[in-house]
Structure 1
Amino acid sequence: MLKAKNIRKSYPTSIGSLEVLKGLDLSITKGEMISVTGPSGCGKSTLLNILGTLDRADSGSLEIEDQLVAELDDEHLSRLRSESIGFVFQFHHLLPEFSVLENLIIPQRLLRRAEVDSRERALELLEKVGLSERADHRPGAISGGERQRVAVLRALVNRPSVVLADEPTGNLDVDAASKLMEMISSLAGDFGQAFLIVTHNPVVAAICLRNLKMEDGQLISSPEK
C-alpha cells in the first residue's frame, strides 16, 4: 500500500545542513493503525509531509498503491494525493462558510464525482458516526470534538488507502479525544483504511496496534503488544 525506503531529508541552517530523516524505512499495509511518537522537532511532521507527497525527500524512494512517486508528474501526483491519501491535522480546517454536509461533499466534487453520489456518501458517513443531525450545521455551531470527527470523515470521504494524522487529538479534552480515537478505530476496521497517527498522547498510542518512535532520524519499533 505504502512503502518508503531509505528516506533522507535535510534542511539548511546558519551553521550548516541539518539532517532530519536519516535513511528511514516504513511499510504500511491495509487496515493498520500505527502511532508515531517522539519529541518535538525530531522530524515527525517532516515525515508526514513526505509520505503525503506535500514535500519531497532528498533521496530514497516512496511507493503508494504500486506507483513510484518520483516518476509522477505534477498532475498525476495531485490525483494520487487526492484519491489515495487522507489528511487530518491538529486543527480541523473545515470551511466555516459551508455546512458539515457540504464540507464532506466538496472533496468528492473536486474529483468530479456526481453530486448525488457525493451527497449519499457524506450522509452515509455522518450516520455511521451519529452526526446526521449536524449535517446542516456550520462548523462554528458544533463542538470541538464534533468538528474534529467531521475532519476525520472528510479525510475518509474519497476512500483513500491511508490516512495521515498529525496530532488529531491535540486540541481536544480527554473525553473528546477518547471518542475520536474510538471512532477512528471503528472506521479503520469497517473500511480498511490504514492510519498513521503522529501523537504525544500515550492514550492514542495505546489504541494503535503498532507503535513506532522517531529517534535520530529513524523509526524504531516499540515492543509487540
Structure 2
Amino acid sequence: MKVKEAAALVGISVRTLHHYDKIGLLTPDHLTESGYRLYSDRNLETLQQILFFKELGFSLKQIKEIIDSPSFDRYEAFLLQRNMLLEKRSRLDKMIALIDKTIQYEKGEISMTNKEKFEGFDFSDNPYEQEARKRWGDQAVDEANAKVGKLSKEAQKAVAKRWDAIYTNLASLRNTSPASTDAQAAIKEWYDFLNNNFGTYSLDTFKGLGQMYVDDERFTKNIDKYGEGLSLFMRDAMAVFADQNKK
C-alpha cells in the first residue's frame, strides 16, 4: 500500500507517516526503485498499535521505546491498551457528569458545595500506564534505545541482521552441551553484541538476563521462535559463561 493510500485508510496525513519513518518509529517494509514507500499489512498493524498508544497520551519517543523493546508483546499491549482506554472512559464519564451537574448549578436548578465542584477531577496516575512503562519503558530499555537511536538506518539494519545471525547460530547448537566450546563461543558473541550495542552488561546482569529468558514467557516465546528450547539453552550457556569468566 502506497503512503497516500495508507494515510487515507487511517485518516492521518502523509506528512505524519513521513515523520514516523524519519524518526524510526514506523519504517515501511518496502521501497520501490522510484523511492515510493510501500506499507505491508505488518506495517499497518504496527501503525494501529502506535495510534492506540498516541490516543492514550504517550509521546512518540515513549511509543518507540515501548515497541522497540525486546520484551514487547503485541497481544499483551492490546490488553493493557484496552484497560487504559476503559480507565480513560471512566474518567471522562465522571468529568461529563460533573459538567452536567455544574450546568444545572449555573442555571440555578441545584446547589453545589465547593467539594462537589471538583469531584470529577482525578490527577492520580493511570495504573495501566505505569504498568506499560514498567514492562517496556524501564531504564535498561531507555539506555538501549538511546544507543541504537544514534545509529544510521543502515547501521540499525546491520545490528538487526547480526542479532538474527547470532540467534540462528545458537539455535543450531541448542541440543549440545551449554558448556561446550562451540556453545560458549556462540554465547560470548551474544555477550559482546549486547555490550557493544545495547549498554553495559556485567556478568551478573548477563546471567540474570538469561534467567529472565525462561522466567518471562514473553522472552521465551520470542526466543523459541528460532528453535524450541533455545531459551533454556541460552539461560544455561549464559550462566556457565558468567561463572567461568568470574574466575
Common fold by TM > 0.5: no
Q: Which structure is higher in strand share?
A: 1
Larger radius of gyration: 2
Q: Which structure is higher in helix share?
A: 2
Q: Normalising by the residue count of structure 1, what TM-score does the alignment of the two structures yield?
A: 0.24
Q: Normalising by the residue count of structure 2, what TM-score does the alignment of the two structures yield?
A: 0.23
